[in-house]
């Protein structure tokens, strides 16, 4: 006999602001926290039977919830567990979707496994990393992901997806843009290199390591540098930091054609526009640079919302801020950059309306 379906306890009208790093927004019409796959399946079935939209909430560090809340079942992911296995001179580490990301990075670094050290300090959970193709300081999770186990909500079956099926791109994936909402990430497997050389390809990290007099830095040394750099930009969640209520980078760095990059330089009257050629022929520009050259300054406020005092890419929600204030300020930044440089900035966080 098959096992009976798991019971699911659904709560109503649950405030979502406390579950997000921005701390704004309304309530979920229905809400459930899950710690095992059986309960997740039951929650998905509950939503399907009632024709209720489904939203998946991880660490809440990359979402803006509308003030009116969301008329959906919000599922808070709490799946935990880490497993490892050696394979062909590497180690494959599988982490459940609800594992805190930075704790997982610290675990890898403590074992001297290369591949994640530059992704230290990023808030959120493991399950979000393939969705966003999270990256920083020269590393992206797509460099190490070998499999993503997910629940396909169209079939209610668990599937294992290869990196090619994940459709990774710059801060993007098939989970985010090609088939949003279809898959609920259950676990992610990363292939790491025991004793491999740490990543020092990003200038800020290399400088910080050198400034500490290290000629052969360990993964732990690089993690220490990355965390220190992120702290100077208020990109680590620290109690008491006036910039802590944010989503981190609110915009992705735009990738444009070489012609557009040249036009930006001409409009700026500055040949020193930060730019990074991409393998596909595009050119990545600095969104923070564009925002500041469009007339905004770090720490600038409009009412209860403003830019971080430490980084022009972070929008901060201060006391009494609402989601509509955050989004209105973001639109003003987008419009100003578009008018000044002809480049449209894309939001990095998801907006739940």
Q: Which phi and psi angles does 207 have, rounded to 5°?
A: -65, -45
CATH numbers and ranges of domains, the chain? 11-77 (3.30.43.10), 82-196 (3.30.465.10), 255-352 (3.90.78.10)
Mean pLDDT (whole number) for 285-304? 97
Residue 56: pLDDT above 60?
Answer: yes
Q: What was the pLDDT predicted at 235?
A: 86
Q: Rg (Cα) of the chain, in Å, rounded?
A: 21
Cβ atoms of 308 and 237 closer than 8 Å = no
Pick from 311, 315, 338: nearest CA to 326: 315
Pick from 144, 186, 176: nearest CA to 348: 176
Residue 5: pLDDT above 70?
Answer: no
Q: What was the pLDDT predicted at 202?
A: 83
Residue 2: pLDDT above 70?
Answer: no
For 239-248, the pLDDT digits (tens) are 889 999 999 9
Residue 136: pLDDT above 90?
Answer: yes
Q: What was the pLDDT predicted at 166?
A: 97
Whole-number Å distance between alpha carbons of 28 and 103: 28
Q: What was the pLDDT predicted at 7?
A: 77
Q: What was the pLDDT predicted at 223?
A: 96
Is position 249 annotated as part of the catalytic site? yes
For 321-350, the pLDDT digits (tens) are 999 999 999 999 999 999 999 999 999 999
Whole-number Å distance between alpha carbons of 237 and 234: 7
End-to-end CA distance of the chain: 42
Q: CA 89: distance to chain centroid?
A: 30
Q: CA 38: distance to chain centroid?
A: 26
For 82-106, the pLDDT digits (tens) are 999 999 899 999 999 999 999 999 9
Q: What was the pLDDT predicted at 8?
A: 87
Is position 348 annotated as part of the catalytic site? yes
Choosing from 33, 92, 348, 353, the catalytic residue is: 348
Q: Which two tokens stand for residue 287?
A: 């969104």
Choosing from 55, 171, 223, 244, the catalytic residue is: 171
Mean pLDDT (whole number) for 168-186? 94
Residue 1: pLDDT above 50?
Answer: no
Mean pLDDT (whole number) for 103-131? 97
For 185-216, the pLDDT digits (tens) are 999 999 999 999 999 988 889 899 989 888 88
Choosing from 173, 225, 249, 308, the catalytic residue is: 249
How many C-beta neighbours within 10 Å does residue 181 have? Answer: 13
Partners of residue 94 on adjacent β-strands:
83, 189
Is position 157 annotated as part of the catalytic site? no
Residue 154: pLDDT above 70?
Answer: yes
Whole-number Å distance between alpha carbons of 42 and 280: 43
Q: What was the pLDDT predicted at 272?
A: 85
């Amino acid at each position: 006999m098959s096992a009976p379906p798991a019971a699911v306890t659904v709560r109503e009208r649950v405030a979502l602001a406390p579950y997000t790093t921005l701390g704004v927004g309304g309530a979920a019409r229905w809400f459930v926290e899950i710690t095992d796959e059986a309960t997740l399946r039951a929650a998905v079935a509950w939503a399907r039977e009632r024709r209720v939209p489904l939203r998946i909430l991880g660490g809440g560090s990359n979402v803006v919830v509308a003030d009116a809340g969301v008329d959906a079942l919000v599922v808070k992911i709490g799946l935990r567990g880490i497993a490892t296995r050696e394979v062909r001179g590497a180690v494959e580490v599988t982490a459940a979707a609800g594992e805190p990301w930075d704790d997982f990075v610290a675990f890898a670094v403590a074992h001297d496994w290369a591949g994640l050290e530059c992704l230290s300090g990023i808030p959120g959970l493991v399950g979000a990393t393939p969705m966003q193709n999270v990256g920083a300081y020269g590393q992206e999770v797509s460099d190490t992901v070998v499999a993503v186990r997910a629940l396909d909500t169209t079939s209610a079956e668990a599937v294992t997806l290869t990196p090619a099926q994940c459709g990774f791109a710059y801060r993007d994936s098939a989970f985010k843009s090609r088939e949003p909402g279809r898959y609920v990430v259950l676990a992610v497997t990363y292939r790491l290199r025991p004793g491999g050389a740490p990543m020092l390809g990003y200038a800020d990290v290399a400088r910080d390591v050198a400034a500490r007099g290290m000629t052969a830095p360990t993964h732990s040394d690089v993690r220490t540098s990355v965390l220190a750099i992120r702290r100077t930009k208020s990109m680590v969640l620290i109690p008491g930091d006036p910039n802590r209520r944010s989503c981190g980078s609110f915009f992705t760095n735009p990738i444009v054609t070489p012609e557009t990059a040249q036009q930006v330089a001409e409009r700026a009257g500055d040949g020193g526009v930060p730019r990074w050629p991409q393998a596909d022929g595009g050119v990545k520009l600095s969104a923070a640079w564009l925002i500041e050259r469009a007339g905004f300054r770090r720490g600038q406020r409009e009412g209860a919302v403003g830019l971080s005092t430490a980084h022009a890419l972070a929008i901060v929600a201060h006391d009494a801020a609402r989601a509509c204030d955050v989004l209105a300020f973001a639109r003003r930044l987008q419009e100003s950059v578009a008018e000044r440089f002809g480049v449209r900035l894309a939001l990095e966080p998801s907006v739940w309306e």
